[in-house]
Structure 1
Amino acid sequence: MRKIAKVWLYIRRHKYLVTLGVFLLVIGVIDDNSLIHRFQNRREIHELNKEIERYRKQYEEDSKTLKEITSNPKELEKVAREKYLMKQENEDIYIFEEDLKK
């Protein structure tokens, strides 16, 4: 009983400090909109924006390649040889492991 009385006395004397501590605990950790969740969401948004930018660059490169392929038959042959390993009848193709990794 004595410990409870000491705790209650401490809370009564420092009620504003205790209230502030509980408030910071709720805002910082417990709440759904806590600071921890906000930092995690901000990091996820940053990663998603980087991914969007990467896909945008890939789209631009692919669009450029498609335009070149449809307008120039030599470019079509070049892409077919490089990406799809196609060859002419009198050619031999050698594939290196480094090329497959790309």
Structure 2
Amino acid sequence: MKLPVINLPPLLKNKYILSLVVFGVWVTFFDQNNLWDRAKLSSRINQLEKQKHHYEVEIEQNERKLSEIKESPESLEKFAREQYLMKKKNEDIFVVIEKED
């Protein structure tokens, strides 16, 4: 019985090239650390780095505000009035809410 002859390019008849192609396909699609998952994880890392930078800036601003409040009683009073609507006994507070069109 004669085996059928498959017309393959000469490069694919080479067992080393063929094994290299199979290895490449395996690593690209089927491996635990395939390229698709690595690209998704890299995108997620970039997103988390941006969030980290945002929160670092926010922490720095809050620390600056906290040190300002600790340094002077006037700024503490201003903060309490603005954020928590606190008032003295003989004062009235009017809250004005601007309506956006």
- TM-score normalised by structure 2 residue count: 0.71
- Kindly indicate whether residue 57 of structure 2 is the aligned counterpart of residue 63 of structure 1: no
Unaligned runs of 5+ in 1: none
Distance 1:94 1:74 in 2: 21
Partner residue, 1:30: 30
- Aligned 8 A contact 1:69 1:76 in 2: yes
Q: How many residues align?
A: 92
Q: Residues 5-31 of structure 1, C-alpha deviation per residue, up to 9 Å, x if partnerless?
A: 65x8467x6344643442222111111
Unaligned runs of 5+ in 2: none
Distance 1:97 1:24 in 2: 62
Partner residue, 1:40: 40
Partner residue, 1:92: 93
Instruction: Give the CA RMSD over aligned residues.
Output: 2.6
- Kindly indicate whether residue 69 of structure 2 is the aligned counterpart of residue 50 of structure 1: no
After TM superposition, give the deviation of residue 50 of structure 1 in Å: 0.9
| Inter-CA distance 71–38: structure 2 relative to 1 (3 Å threshold) | same
Give 4+ residue runs of structure 1 displaced > 6 Å after superposition.
none
| Inter-CA distance 95–24: structure 2 relative to 1 (3 Å threshold) | farther
- TM-score normalised by structure 1 residue count: 0.70
